[in-house]
Structure 1
Amino acid sequence: MNIRLISILSTSILLTLATARAEDWLPPLPAWHGDSEALIKAKSHPWVSPAELSGLKESPDYNTTIAYLRKLVDSSDLLEMEQFGTSAQGRALYLVKASAALHKIAQNPQRPLLLVQAGIHSGEIDGKDAGLMLLRDIAHGDKAKLLANADLLFIPVFSADGHERRSATNRMNQRGPVLQGWRATAQNLNLNRDYSKADAPEMQALLGVLNKYQPDLYIDVHVTDGEDYQYDVTYGFNEPFAAISPNAASWLAKLYRPAVNSALENAGHIPGPLVFGVDSKDFSKGLSGWTASPRYSNGYGDVRHLPTVLVENHSLKPYRQRVLGTYILLEQSLKLLNEQGKALILARQADMQARPKRMVLNYKASEQPDFIDFKGMSYQLRPSEISGDSYVYWTGEPKLYEKLPLYWDKVADKEVPVPTAYWLPPEQHQVIARLKLHGIDVTTLDKPTKVSVQQLNVVAYRFADKPFEGHFMLQDARFNKQTVSRTLPVGWVKVSTDQALGRLAVALLEPTAPDSFFSWGFFPGMFERTEYFEPYAIEPLIERMLVQQPELKAQFEQALTQDETLRANPRERYNWFYQKMPYYDQAYLKYPVLIEP
């Protein structure tokens, strides 16, 4: 097939797709009406939002969004706008502050602070248009009372570059808006995998917001893919049974969830839990409940002692319905902070002041399920001549799956004692800088200090075959441990775990943690040897060693019987002796972070 014909066919396919509608391939859609529809302003309203002009079918571009917010902020004493960073392509990143006491919004123990973030995945932009409507109603409607005893920070678009990579064909599994942004940033980084490693300039800027304002509740708004079900707004957080911050998690479970669910139901929405099918072709096998690690917003919030709710609106519901559901969730969150915000502040303080002796690094699914009545949809398995397999066809008919097994990630899979401190040599500039970005307190030695520490040595490891989020991650690593006494020179950095963010320090510096700097591959130098031996030099040295240490001969002969590579490779035989010499690289495969028990 020639290039011209391929081009013609490609153009034809694009034209076909461009004229198609999502209704042509997405599952049938049940009709929906709810009381929240009364929130939509008429086109003639002086403060109608850009999305409302289309009946919540379209979402405005970045410049239009910011222009509307500037106009709104200029019109109200309750609002301020702040640039908190710059995207990789140079776009300004903004947040809007809403408060009856704007000058006291940062770290005010008397006024709980809610941070709402939209557009971390900019194709999932429901939170932006819901937030614009809510800010409008606070400034020029009847919702100013939401600021009576609470404050709000609103980030309309976190991934600004992804937002402007707009297309009608970005998300084939999602109903609306008409033009949708892109999932990743201009650097092809997924910001909701970047919290712990903090590579992206957008994420580094966000960490500055968290450190500056110290919010008490964090809501991250997404749109989910996957199975069809009746719920239009699902959300979740690390549950109390698997939380680093159990007091805040209990507040979310006991106070937040019932209040938000009730508000959504009263407004005509169907709230649901953030769970996933175990087997996409067999719903009867049940659901999995997720405990997030610190690469994700909700996992990072948990280890940082910042109560974090991950909202996942259902991608198969219309954009209008999803935006209105998000509005209700955000409004109720502010209402609850007005009523129960001080209890949340106390819960956070208890988590920050706790100093547990052990910490779970990650959880795995329990073999014993809980059970849930799940509001799903019926489906059929249909044969596919294209794939040669079957696929799920969702009928659009509601179905209640009674007592469906739900397997929560709540069994401790890896647990470590919390050390007194971690020690980093001064050449680890990047890691030290990232720790400071997270707000973790570090101290630099100004005089030599003798410490008793653990030195971890890698005895086996495996890197990933391909990059993930800009890194070749460690897929597996095993260590042995030595207790050594060291006098550390001036310039070494101490990271004490006796601080509010001590658990975050453990998550980042404990090498076996799933999102540690080690796991993300921040220490490549430790896996390289830069000095070697020549046979003419090592041969006489080995002969001398065998005379001085007769037991080495027996050890070597035993090693030969056990290691086929050693028997077959002359260089490896030399290397066996080389590793026992003082000339061998003493930093090779040694984790450069020392651990003080």
Structure 2
Amino acid sequence: MRKFFVLCLLSMRLKAAAQKTPFELSGKTETTTYTAAIAYYENLAKTYPEAKLLTYGNTDFGKPLHLLVLSQDKVFDPVLIRKSNKRILLINNGIHPGEPEGVDASMMLARDLLKAGKLPKDVVICIIPLYNIDGSFNRTGTSRANQNGPVAYGFRGNSKNLDLNRDFIKTDSKNSAAFQLIFNTWQPEIFVDTHTSNGADYQYVMTLIPTQKDKLNPILSAYLTKTLVPDLYSGMEKLGYPMIPYVNSIGETPETGITGFIESPRYSTGYTTLHNTIGFMPETHMLKSYDLRVDATYKLLENYIRIVERDAKMIGENKRKADEAVALQKEFSLEWKLNKTEVNDLTFKGFEAGQKPSTVSGADRLYYDRTKPYTKTIKEWNKFEPAVSVQKPVAYIIPKAWDRVIALLKLNNVKLRELKTDQKIAVDSYYISDFKTGTRPYEGHYLHSAVKLNTLQQNLQYYAGDYVVYVNQPVNRYIIETLEPQATDSYFNWNFFDSILDMKEHYSAYVFEDTATELLKNNADLKSKLEAKKSADPEFAKNGAAQLDFVYKNSDYYEKTHNRYPVARLVTDVKLDLK
């Protein structure tokens, strides 16, 4: 009998130890590995029927992306969950594996909620254990030179050396496609992407980047600014972790003031905004000890769960109203600028900064004196305004050849219709008249910007199987901010359509000289345009080759598809022959 008791006791101790995370077993100095994290979640899912570990798609590392779902009702079908009017909270961890607080905090939080039987009734919690699987295997203790622990951690770039928090539109990685599959399958109302900050030294362990309030739909923005963010701040204050907005200093130190962060759709929270999901990027402070950073992340995630459970009906209703409003919305902003005249006062707890000689160079260098904490009022600029806006068309028409664009639209729950027969359609066509391109690659692309357009009304031939995207959908923002070429993170700016910028035909000058002579002789308008151009531009008037090219490009010999953006705008609601 005594032997049986000892064996039972030993079994209980082993089971308890098995539920400890690698972070806890290391004395809170180490972060888990990917392999240990997945094994840990598999064990939780086997132990508790309220947990299920799912896999989606693939990643560049050859492994699927995992999703742990915590459901008090043991329902793991997102369609049934939405029908039962429950909220979905999605937590993403390890997009930058060198910033792993969320990885460890989520493991402990999932265990504690399951063990205590405290899963929320009206909220289903979805956790991506470790998004950048590739980078997590590239494990060192030196790649984040300024960070205080853990002992070893992963690398920011994935196995293609992509920063995955710049990949949510261009989708160069399989990781991004798998994430978008998860996101658009589960359609969360609230999204949290856990990070660690860089930059100035200050007293706070946790800083916060919410979805930029001015970019968010007004219904969601009102709830975000008046309820959700204030309650997150007050909740963390009570738990011993006062927060501050992400310290994006306009000068060398925070005393110069900080600005809000404008996240374009390439970033996770910029992407989720396109789907009317409220997003957050919590950033713990790199110089605080790792155990404090994990604890602050754990408590912040608890705070989200508490508030989303409390406001579950309101959050669901807000999302429904926002989706309806966006489907009917007529004007959309494509670029944003900071309003430098509207400023807020912000109480800030920092450390005094100073200058002292560098032991490396002898020049003066910045330092912060932690023996001299202060509380000061600093300035915050956090009002953004539209810089470029556009009126939506009735629909966009996309030739079926652009299959990568079609696939990404479908992945993002965009409804597409196919033409049933060949037909000519009156559309507005964009011609790319000017743009700038980076001189160095950025995330594998030579990114375009400052796009200028000429719009022409044309009757274009389309074919059976070409796609029509009506702009009357809850995902209108995703449609417009990817398909309008002047949008910051449009498919055009990410080089999806660069082949249209090349001419496929040209002319032999000595032959076309005679053709141009005949054109000018028989076309008074063309001759008048040429003379006007010569009068207005002295350099052009001296350049014979430029004048010949002008005649060519204003003749029927010039290819009409050169610089013509292939996604046309249908601006009149005509009846189309659709499948």
- Equivalent position of 2:206 in the other structure: 233
Quote how far apart the aligned CAs of 1:218 are.
0.9
Matched, 1:254 2:220: no
Aligned-pair CA distance for 1:361:
1.5
Shift of 1:253: 2.3
AA aligned to 2:72 is A
What do the CA deviations read for 1:416-447 (whole angstroms, capped 9, x no partner)? 11222111111111111111122211111112
Which residue of structure 1 aligns with residue 59 of structure 2?
Answer: 87
> Deviation of residue 126 (structure 1)?
0.5
Counterpart CA distance in 2 for 1:388 and 1:481 is 58
Q: Is the 8 A contact 2:70 2:119 kept in 1?
A: no
Q: Which amino acid aligns with 1:189?
A: L
The amino acid of 1:309's aligned partner reads F
**Alignment partners' CA distance in 2, 1:171 and 1:385:** 22
CA drift at 1:562: 4.1
**Could you list the per-position Cα deviations for residues 149-175 of structure 1 after superposition, in whole angstroms to 9, with x for gaps in the alignment?**
211111110000101100011101111
Determine whether 1:458 maps to 2:432: yes
Query: Aligned to 1:86, what secondary structure does the other structure show?
Result: coil
Q: Deviation of residue 210 (structure 1)?
A: 1.2
Partner of 1:517: 491
Contact kept? 2:72, 2:121, Cα under 8 Å: yes
**Contact 2:72 2:119 (C-alpha < 8 Å) held by counterparts:** no
Q: What secondary structure sits across from 1:415 in the alignment?
A: strand
Which residue type is aligned with residue 142 of structure 2?
Answer: T
Structure 1's 310 and 62: CA in aligned 2 closer, same or farther, altered over 3 A?
same
In 2, distance between residues paired with 1:405 and 1:333? 27
> Which residues of 2 match residues 404-415 of structure 1 at below 5 A?
404-415=378-389
- Specify the alignment match of 1:168 in structure 2: 141
- The residue aligned with 1:139 is 114
Any residues of structure 2 matched to 1:284-303 within 5 Å, and which?
Answer: 284-303=255-274
Q: CA deviation at 1:106?
A: 0.7
The answer to which of 189-198 and 448-457 deviates more is 448-457
Partner of 1:57: 29
Give 1:304's match in structure 2, choosing from 269, 275, 294.
275
Summarize deviations over 1:544-586 as a string: whole Å, max 9, x none: 1222124544543443354465355443232111112211111
Cα distance in 2 for partners of 1:410, 1:248 equals 16
SS of residue in 2 equivalent to 1:100: coil
The answer as to 2:557 corresponding to 1:583 is yes
Q: Is the 8 A contact 2:184 2:413 kept in 1?
A: yes
Aligned-partner Cα distance in 1 for 2:391–2:313: 32
Q: 1:283 to 1:96 in 2, by over 3 A?
A: closer
Q: Identify which range, 376-385 or 463-472, moves more after superposition.
A: 376-385
In the alignment, residue 506 of structure 1 is paired with which amino acid? I
Give the SS at the match of 1:80. Answer: strand
In structure 2, what is the Cα distance between the partners aligned to 1:294 and 1:466?
21
- Inter-partner Cα distance in structure 1 for 2:222 and 2:365: 40
5 Å matches for 1:369-384? 369-384=343-358
Per mean C-alpha deviation after superposition, the further-off stretch among 395-404 and 148-157 is 395-404
> What does residue 314 of structure 1 align with?
285
Deviations 1:229-260 (Å, cap 9, x if unpaired)?
Answer: 111111122343x1232222322223322332
Q: 1:554 to 1:260 in 2, by over 3 A?
A: closer
Equivalent AA in structure 2 for residue 535 of structure 1 = A
Rounded Cα–Cα distance in structure 2 between residues aligned with 1:244 and 1:595: 25
Matches within 5 A, 1:31-46: 45=17
Partner Cα distance (2:51, 2:68) in 1 = 7
How large is the RMSD of aligned CA atoms in angstroms?
Answer: 2.2
The question of whether the paired residues in 1 share the 8 Å contact of 2:52 and 2:76 is answered with no
Measured against aligned partners, the alpha-carbon deviations of 1:279-319 in whole angstroms (never above 9, x if no partner) come to: 12x43321111121111111111121111111111111111
1:13-412 map, 5 Å: 45=17, 47-107=19-79, 108-109=81-82, 110-140=85-115, 142=116, 144-240=117-213, 242-280=214-252, 282-354=253-325, 355-368=328-341, 369-384=343-358, 386=360, 390-397=364-371, 399-400=373-374, 402-412=376-386
CA–CA separation in structure 1 for the residues paired with 2:145 and 2:404: 39
Shift of 1:209: 0.6
Map 1:561-576 to 2 at 5 A.
561-563=535-537, 566-567=540-541, 569-576=543-550
Q: Secondary structure at the match of 2:382?
A: strand
Are 2:473 and 1:499 equivalent residues in the alignment?
Answer: yes
- Is residue 422 from structure 1 mapped to residue 396 from structure 2 by the alignment? yes
Distance 1:496 1:551, change over 3 A: closer
Structure 1, residues 253-275: CA drift from partner, whole Å, max 9, x if none? Answer: 23322332233222221222124
- The separation in 1 between residues aligned to 2:383 and 2:425, in whole angstroms, is 38
CA deviations 1:305-344 (Å, max 9, x no partner) are 1111111111111110010111111112112222111110
> After superposition, what is the alpha-carbon deviation per residue over 1:5-60, rounded to whole angstroms, capped at 9, x for unaligned?
xxxxxxxxxxxxxxxxxxxxxxxxxxxxxxxxxxxx99975522110012211012
Q: 1:590 to 1:80 in 2, by over 3 A?
A: same
Contact 2:449 2:486 in 1 (8 A): no
Structure 1 residues 221 and 396: CA distance shift in structure 2, 3 A:
same
Structure 1 residues 437 and 337, CA gap change in structure 2 (3 angstroms): same
CA distance in structure 1 between the aligned counterparts of 2:556 and 2:424, rounded to whole angstroms: 23
Distance verdict in 2 for CA 1:157–1:554, change over 3 Å:
same
Shift in CA distance, 470/586, structure 1 to aligned 2, threshold 3 Å? same
SS at match of 1:180: coil
Q: TM-score, normalised by structure 2?
A: 0.91
1:164-189 Cα shifts (integer Å, max 9, x gaps): 10001110111111101101111111
Q: Deviations over 1:207-228 (max 9, x none)?
A: 1111211122111001110111
Greater alpha carbon shift after TM alignment, 381-390 vs 92-101: 381-390
Separation (CA, whole Å) in 2 of partners of 1:294 and 1:210: 14
* Cα distance in 2 between the residues matched to 1:112 and 1:461: 43
Question: Retained in 1: the 8 A contact 2:204–2:285?
Answer: yes
For 1:534 and 1:426, the matched residues in 2 are separated by 34
CA contact (8 A) 2:339 2:385 kept: yes
CA contact (8 A) 2:210 2:281 kept: yes
Q: Deviations over 1:450-492 (max 9, x none)?
A: 5432111122222211111111111332111122344533222
Distance 1:71 1:491, change over 3 A: same
d(CA) in 2 for partners of 1:558, 1:212: 58
Instruction: Describe the shift of the 1:271–1:551 C-alpha distance in structure 2 as closer, same or farther (beyond 3 A).
Output: closer
Kindly provide the amino acid, as one letter, of the partner of residue 137 in structure 1.
D
Do 2:200 and 2:254's aligned partners in 1 also have CA atoms closer than 8 Å?
Answer: no
1:97-139 residue CA offsets vs partner (Å, 9 max, x unmatched): 1112233541423221111110001101100100110111122
Rounded to whole Å, the distance in 2 between the matches of 1:151 and 1:565 is 67
Is the 2:430–2:455 contact (alpha carbons within 8 Å) kept by the matching residues of 1? yes
Q: Aligned equivalents of 1:254 and 1:397: distance in 2? A: 36
For residues 327-364 of structure 1, the C-alpha deviation after alignment (integer angstroms, 9 at most, x for no partner) is 11111211222211111011111111112221112221
d(CA) in 2 for partners of 1:373, 1:350 = 35
- Report sequence identity in percent: 29
1:146 Cα offset (Å)? 2.9
Question: Partners of 1:77 and 1:550 in 2: how far apart?
Answer: 81
CA, structure 1 residues 552+246, in 2 after alignment: closer, same or farther (shift >3 Å)?
closer
Per-residue CA deviation, residues 380-407 of structure 1 (Å, 9 max, x unaligned), is 1234475675432011246445331111
Structure 2 residue aligned with 1:28: none
In the alignment, is the contact (CA less than 8 A) between 2:66 and 2:128 conserved in 1?
Answer: yes
SS of equivalent to 1:127? helix
Amino acid in the other structure paired with 1:364: K
